[in-house]
Structure 1
Amino acid sequence: MRLALHWQILIALALAVVMGVWTGTEAQIFGVHWLAIYTFIGTLFLNALKMIVVPLVVSAIITGVANVGQHGGFGRLGGKTLGYYVLTSFLAILIGLALVNLLQPGVSENGVPVMETNDQIMSAISGKSAGDVVDVFLRMIPVNVVDAAAEGQMLGLIFFSLLFGYFMTKLKGAHKDTLTNFWQGIFEVMMMITAWVMKFAPLGVFGLVAASVAKTGFDQFGHLALFFLTVSLALGVHFLVVMPILLRVLGGVKNPWLHYQAMAPAILTAFSTSSSSSTLPITMNAVETRAGVSNRVSSFVLPLGATVNMDGTALYECVAAVFIAQLFGVPLDWSTQLLIVVIALTTSIGVAGIPSASLVAISIILVAVGLPAEAIGLLLVVDRLLDMMRTVVNVFSDSVGAVVIARSEGEDQVLVSKHF
């Protein structure tokens, strides 16, 4: 019987801690430093992740936008749905950004950086953030798309992909079919490559974490505990405060807590599976039979939400990027944090439907602001439980969207009483 991937990763984490402590930075085997072996394994895994980023994100966004357009998704119902998804993801990111700046989980008591910072990192950060908000928007339109792909300028690629996908829906006949099949084929191939790369995640996690432990010992684990608390608190605020407010203000629901009772089966399924897509049938059943939303609304809003609406993921990406900057003692000015917000919002839409989406998305953000992607290995220590929690937030936000949009469409029977 093959162990599930998350169990393999947990075992790799435990082994990495043991080996990192045992070998330190000086131990050798056959004349080769253990640290060099750890670094080699971790770098291979990170290179594989970086390899898939550009084609995966571009094809995911183009096919996602094209699919919405093909189903008439740019009409009234589609406009409401996409507007709601952008709003809730943006609110989630702002909550995460506020709490990570308030609690500062990556800042040591004496102000000394937890991780070693080099001049290259500092110059990259200053180069990314030197300027005002105008520079952020200038980066959205690349002068050369090929150069943007080669240099990892993801903001420009995301903007181009959104435009390409939208205008692809305006084509007629054979050209439209050809392009649709082409990008759908690329997306499906990239999904398979991603799944293959993730089979090596336990090895990659072992190399990244073992190297980190060997160099810094357990110094960073206290910060990881505070990082876990920060993300959990931010997710809780979004789940228990923002969502009820949206139900009451936008949906006109007198008792928002009825929706929590209605969605209990989907919430438990999302927590146990860590998959919005796997939970989708349970979510649709709960929204229709327990919350009273029509199939016309739920069949459009929920499948689209399971693909593009990832409030918890967007929140996590933002907190993780700022946390890593704090660990390295790198100050992020407001324009760089705005860049993180924009990229977190767009990548949560573009890569949400893929396995281990957060790994890919966080690596995009780190590269965009000049931080080392190697720091992702630290996050994997606490990622499994946080993944379960943010999936709950993702799924629940989709269901709230279905209720809000159904009420806006005149469905007055939604959540007026228990349907269960």
Structure 2
Amino acid sequence: MMKLHHQIFFAMLAGTLAGSFTAESSTLLGMPIISGYDLVGSLFINALKMVVIPLIVTAIINGMVGVGDDENLGRMGLKTVVLYMSTTLVAVLIGLVAVNLFTPGIINGQPARDLLGLATETQDALAKIDGRGVGDFTEILLQMLPPNLIAAAANGQMLGLIVFSLLFGFFLRTERSSSGQSLRNIIDGIYQVVMKITMLVIRFTPLGIFALIAATVTRTGMDAIEPLAWFFLTVLVALALHAFVFMPLLIVLAAKRSPLRHIQAMTPALLTAFSSASSAATLPLSMECVQKRSGVSTRTSSFVLPLGATVNMDGTALYECVAAMFIAQAYGMDLSLATQFMIVITALLTSIGVASIPAASLVAITVILGAIGLPAEAIGLILVTDRVLDMCRTAVNVWGDSVVTVVLARSEGEETVLSLPVSKMEKVTTTDVH
């Protein structure tokens, strides 16, 4: 059977081809063809929105419960979490700066909504965020602790649900009673079921992408190419800055080692991550490269890397931020400091909650758009470029995990880290290094 990413690629081509041969007035059996595109696209978007809340809540709680035992959550655990959150925050901020500099959603001084077929979208969502000021930081902070979780979920205020899930998961893992274990089993069971439902929705991604792209091309022709090309370039530049500027500096300053040596050591894992677009699938090879080629002990790498594959997604968080900002720019939004702050915080938190699932960015961007008041349907704009960018950001995710592992190992006093040439390092057994 054809792999999913190949199906998505052919769906994009088919959608572009179908849309180029379809006019808005075209009909099939008396029904407007574009209405069929819109129906299928809306069903796909609705299915994504349907799984967002149960997936985010159960994934975060399950992730917090599975972080490790009390020993792992001690000094090393705290340092790991702080490092991961810090590098992800930097990644999001780099993306924010890049998207503000390049402004891919603005073409020739005008919002790209007409080029992207957004002119007919409702304006109600725009009024929610247009013209927000610094004073609205209070509103954002209040959303983090909603008085009514059900109402927050109904209104798409995911920030409060994310914070609650983090707190719930943290304290649930400390509950040692039989009822606590039963609740952990129940939540894990719910998570596994929701994952199956999500995977079912993801299986229909090619059909949804075909319909969304066909509808866009039908309405706009090929005018959408220019803003999408700028969006693609913006994401690539931001990912490159994070991977090849910030991360090497972190190795030099915090680990006092050569970043070139670590890139050489991680090359097999990075190539695998790029080709597979899966951090989870790359994890065994990442651990082998970090241990045998970078000289990190098994004690450190076996804790830090699996945790990073779950909660640390620098490239994904950066991409989510740029995508949400691009869509907001295309709608002609006045992107105030408060709005951008909301995007940064939500991108940071959602990268933790949905990082371990396939097509995580689709779910996360839906959450971010809802948090700032934009329609989730706009996600269809960026699907054309998503496959290649998914490969790039996955490689950045794996690279970020490995860099944090090296930095943490050096902070724990491991002198063998990148201290020998890669050819010799592969012969060194690091299991007993402390």
In the alignment, is the contact (CA less than 8 A) between 2:133 and 2:338 conserved in 1?
yes
In the alignment, is the contact (CA less than 8 A) between 1:128 and 1:369 conserved in 2?
no
* Equivalent residue, structure 1, for 2:91: 92
Partner SS for 1:132: helix
Separation in 1, partners of 2:34, 2:134: 35
Q: CA deviation at 1:228?
A: 0.6
Partner SS for 1:23: coil
- Structure 1 runs, 4 residues or longer, greater than 4 Å off: 127-130
Separation in 2, partners of 1:131, 1:367: 20
Q: CA deviation at 1:121?
A: 2.5
Q: CA deviation at 1:207?
A: 1.1
Separation in 2, partners of 1:75, 1:409: 13
* Equivalent residue, structure 1, for 2:366: 363
Q: CA deviation at 1:112?
A: 4.5
1:60 equivalent in alignment to 2:59: yes
1:381 equivalent in alignment to 2:373: no
Q: CA deviation at 1:18?
A: 1.6
Q: CA deviation at 1:172?
A: 1.6
Separation in 1, partners of 2:302, 2:20: 52
* Equivalent residue, structure 2, for 1:31: 30
1:305 equivalent in alignment to 2:304: no
Amino acid at match of 2:172: M
Relative to structure 1, is the Cα distance of residues 46 and 71 closer, same or farther in structure 2, using a 3 angstrom cutoff? farther
Report percent identity of matched pairs: 51
Q: CA deviation at 1:113?
A: 3.9
Separation in 1, partners of 2:314, 2:97: 15
In the alignment, is the contact (CA less than 8 A) between 2:273 and 2:394 conserved in 1?
yes
- Larger deviation: 232-241 or 121-130? 121-130
* Equivalent residue, structure 1, for 2:147: 143
Partner SS for 2:364: helix
In the alignment, is the contact (CA less than 8 A) between 2:132 and 2:338 conserved in 1?
no
Among 275, 290, 294, the residue aligned to 2:278: 275
Separation in 1, partners of 2:219, 2:139: 37
In the alignment, is the contact (CA less than 8 A) between 1:124 and 1:370 conserved in 2?
yes
Relative to structure 1, is the Cα distance of residues 350 and 96 closer, same or farther in structure 2, using a 3 angstrom cutoff? same
Amino acid at match of 2:230: L
* Equivalent residue, structure 2, for 1:350: 353
In the alignment, is the contact (CA less than 8 A) between 1:89 and 1:314 conserved in 2?
yes
Amino acid at match of 2:265: A
Amino acid at match of 2:261: L
Separation in 2, partners of 1:135, 1:73: 36
* Equivalent residue, structure 1, for 2:428: none
Separation in 1, partners of 2:346, 2:109: 31
Relative to structure 1, is the Cα distance of residues 363 and 128 closer, same or farther in structure 2, using a 3 angstrom cutoff? farther
Give the TM-score taking structure 1 as reference length: 0.97
Q: CA deviation at 1:71?
A: 5.7
* Equivalent residue, structure 2, for 1:294: 297
In the alignment, is the contact (CA less than 8 A) between 2:105 and 2:111 conserved in 1?
no
Separation in 2, partners of 1:134, 1:92: 25
Give the TM-score taking structure 2 as reference length: 0.94
* Equivalent residue, structure 1, for 2:184: 180
- For structure 1, the residue ranges without an aligned partner over 5 or more in a row are none
Partner SS for 1:283: helix
In the alignment, is the contact (CA less than 8 A) between 1:133 and 1:335 conserved in 2?
yes
Q: CA deviation at 1:5?
A: 0.9
1:234 equivalent in alignment to 2:238: yes
Deviation per CA, 1:137-186: give whole Å up to 9, x if none. 11100111111122221100000000101111221220221111011111
In the alignment, is the contact (CA less than 8 A) between 2:145 and 2:160 conserved in 1?
yes
In the alignment, is the contact (CA less than 8 A) between 1:128 and 1:370 conserved in 2?
no
1:263 equivalent in alignment to 2:249: no
Amino acid at match of 2:389: L
In the alignment, is the contact (CA less than 8 A) between 2:265 and 2:289 conserved in 1?
yes
1:319 equivalent in alignment to 2:318: no
Among 208, 211, 218, the residue aligned to 1:207: 211
Amino acid at match of 2:176: K
1:406 equivalent in alignment to 2:409: yes
Separation in 2, partners of 1:207, 1:103: 29
1:285 equivalent in alignment to 2:288: yes
Partner SS for 1:378: helix
Q: CA deviation at 1:248?
A: 1.2
Counterparts of residues 212-231 of structure 1 (less than 5 Å): 212-231=216-235
1:154 equivalent in alignment to 2:158: yes
- Larger deviation: 161-170 or 313-322? 161-170
- Larger deviation: 175-184 or 334-343? 175-184
Partner SS for 2:200: helix
- For structure 2, the residue ranges without an aligned partner over 5 or more in a row are 424-434
Relative to structure 1, is the Cα distance of residues 159 and 205 closer, same or farther in structure 2, using a 3 angstrom cutoff? same
In the alignment, is the contact (CA less than 8 A) between 1:69 and 1:166 conserved in 2?
no
1:124 equivalent in alignment to 2:123: no
Amino acid at match of 1:325: A
Relative to structure 1, is the Cα distance of residues 293 and 69 closer, same or farther in structure 2, using a 3 angstrom cutoff? closer
1:169 equivalent in alignment to 2:173: yes
Q: CA deviation at 1:129?
A: 6.4
In the alignment, is the contact (CA less than 8 A) between 1:307 and 1:349 conserved in 2?
yes
* Equivalent residue, structure 1, for 2:344: 341
In the alignment, is the contact (CA less than 8 A) between 2:283 and 2:309 conserved in 1?
yes
Deviation per CA, 1:261-307: give whole Å up to 9, x if none. 00011011101110000000000000000000000000000000011
In the alignment, is the contact (CA less than 8 A) between 1:106 and 1:223 conserved in 2?
yes
Q: CA deviation at 1:100?
A: 0.4
Aligned length: 418
Separation in 2, partners of 1:130, 1:288: 47
Partner SS for 2:147: coil
